[in-house]
Structure 1
Amino acid sequence: MFSADQRILITGASSGIGKAIALECVAQGATVLACARDVQRLEEARQASSAPDRWISLQRDFLEGMEEIPAWVRGIAQAHGKLWGLAHAAGEGVMDSLQGYDLASARRHFSLNFHTPCLLAQGFCDRRVGRKGGALLFIASAAAVYPEKGHLIYGAAKAALVAAAKSISQEVAPRGLRVHCLSPGIVDTPMEGRAEALMGPEYRQHQLQSYPLGFGRPEDVAHMAAFLLSEQAAWITGQNFVLDGGRY
């Protein structure tokens, strides 16, 4: 699906969906620039990949020096060559409510789940960075489409990201760049495990009732992500694909 000179920057690549996307893209032939905060987990993921020589690990905390993110992306292209794709899977969920609304916490989570991907997009869409025909992929959330209690800030930030992606897609299409969103429902990841630990075992059983095909696996998202990043999806842009196991 990919060639080794198709370099894809993937954030959140040390665990969960981001790790699964990185492993899938390497398996499909791409060179992956895998970014996360935890260097040790990145190395473990690199060793688990089918081609460690096509896995380059990068460390970054996206809440630090946010204004420098576009320049950071440009620096990656200067050091490793122009990018074919960027998949942004780094993020942080939070269970919240209007009653417990805290402005400082809301700003932090909105920055991570909305401002960070927009700044990454700004860097990738620089003519010196993104290759013509390439793609930008945001991992959003079904919470952007199916708002529910307990996801006030997270759902709002992801909904804003979906809207922004549509706008960005129209802006960069004349340059041959594509922009996608994937909005998964509940996927068995460490982040979901933390939510269940907070909400209790009844939370999982209650949610399962709405998923005819059960909860997803990170690989279920990764297969679709790799397709959208590839040339096989050359005529697709500006869409938000909801992966939810038939949720109702």
Structure 2
Amino acid sequence: MSSLANQVVLITGASAGIGEAVALEAAKQGARLVLAARREGVLQTVKDLVVGRGAEALVVPTDMADTAQVEALAQKALDHFGRVDILVNNAGYGQMGPVEEVDVAAMRRQFEVNVFGLHTLTRALLPQMRERGSGRIINLSSVAGQMSMPFSGVYNATKFAVEALSDALRVEVAPFGVKVILIEPGPVATEFGRVAEETFGAVVNPNGPYKAILDSTADMASSFNKMAWPVEKVVEPIMRAMTDPHPSDRYTAFTGGKLALGLMRLLPASLADQMWRRIYKLDQLGSPESV
């Protein structure tokens, strides 16, 4: 596959950021699009943009945490276009905060959106891909799916799960002509950072045991934002995953990402822990004896 002309591409999280950018680029290449996200008004705006580029588009407002809505999304796409050639599982957000202070409800919603919604939609669309003997499933993971960091453990857990599901699924469906590809961005200049800061602030008790690091979170966010790739740069490997006749199993979309991940795997856990403690200024927490 070298062109997206007439390919039916379903994109979740298509109302902004990476999802919107992928939709616009796919429209330029002649794809027929199914656009899914919660915000119908914003989705309509994206639809107008892709139609303006000559593409056909179907808008399906969907909350990925709602299994019935996700299943309905798949059925509406199949009813409208007859098939889905490429599924881009892009929808997701980052629930940040100390593991201790992220309550069960917040953790459950994080998994519902980032993992269970992805799983539900994939299961719903796989049968028609298998029957045709072709299809691509592109799962947006993260470098956070390869290494866990303080104060993003719940988010990391969802991305580790996406990696595990994808690696297993890739082998299972290869005999049917279906390809499964992981995309692993680092920081990206999208709404993700703002939402992550909001979820962090929503769970951390200002009078709790982690209050000492609250003042440093803005500095940390600023540092990560400086490393962020523009959305358009992240779209490039996604488009390769969609069109390359022989795509890689995973694309790391982060400056020095492969090298950094390789070094982290070689680093003893004790040294990695020390590094994270310095970066996140964790020596401010607890008693002198505990640090």
- TM-score category of the 2 structures, normalised to the smaller one: 0.7 to 0.9
| Residues 22, 235 of structure 2: 8 Å contact kept | yes
Whether contact under 8 Å (2:183, 2:253) holds in the other structure is yes
Q: Contact 1:114 / 1:157 at 8 angstroms: preserved in 2?
A: yes
Provide, for residues 105-135 of structure 1, a one-character-per-residue CA deviation record: whole Å limited to 9, x for no partner. 1111112111111111111211368743320
Change (3 A) 1:97 1:201: closer
**Match of residue 204, structure 1, among 212, 216, 221:** 221
Q: Which amino acid aligns with 1:101?
A: V
For 2:246 and 2:255, how far apart are their aligned partners in 1?
25
Which residue does 2:242 correspond to in 1? 229
Q: TM-score, normalised by structure 2?
A: 0.75
Q: Give me the whole-angstrom Cα distance separating, in 2, the residues matched to 1:13 and 1:146.
A: 26
Q: What is residue 119 of structure 2 aligned with on the other side?
A: 118
Q: 1:226 to 1:128 in 2, by over 3 A?
A: closer
Q: 1:217 aligns with which of 227, 230, 238?
A: 230
Is the 2:12–2:91 Cα contact (8 Å) retained in structure 1?
Answer: yes
- Answer 1 or 2: higher relative contact order, Cα 8 Å, separation at least 6: 1
- What are the within-5 Å matches in structure 2 for residues 58-69 of structure 1? 58-64=60-66, 66=67, 69=70
CA RMSD in angstroms, aligned pairs only: 2.3
Higher radius of gyration, 1 or 2:
2
The letter for the 2-side match of 1:228 is A
Aligned pair count? 240
**Is residue 239 of structure 2 the alignment partner of residue 242 of structure 1?**
no
% identical equivalent positions: 25
SS at match of 2:128: coil
Tell me the distance in 2 between the aligned counterparts of 1:73 and 1:130. Answer: 16
- Is the helix fraction higher in 1 or 2? 2
Deviations 1:136-179 (A, max 9, x none): 01111111112101111110111111111011111111110000
Distance 2:176 2:130 in 1: 12
The one-letter code sitting in structure 1 at the alignment partner of 2:236 is H
8 Å contact 1:85–1:229 — kept in the other structure?
yes
Structure 1's 141 and 130: CA in aligned 2 closer, same or farther, altered over 3 A? farther
Q: In the alignment, what sits opposite 2:169?
A: 168
Query: 2: CA distance between counterparts of 1:228 and 1:141?
Result: 15
Report what 1:56 is aligned to: 58
Residues 53-202 of structure 1 aligned to structure 2 (within 5 Å): 53-64=55-66, 66=67, 69-70=70-71, 72-127=73-128, 131-196=132-197, 201-202=218-219
More strand by share: 1
Runs of 4+ in 1 over 6 A off after TM superposition: none
Q: Which amino acid aligns with 2:256?
A: G
CA distance in 2, matches of 1:100, 1:138: 28
The verdict on how the C-alpha distance between 1:123 and 1:245 changes in structure 2, with shifts beyond 3 A counting, is: same
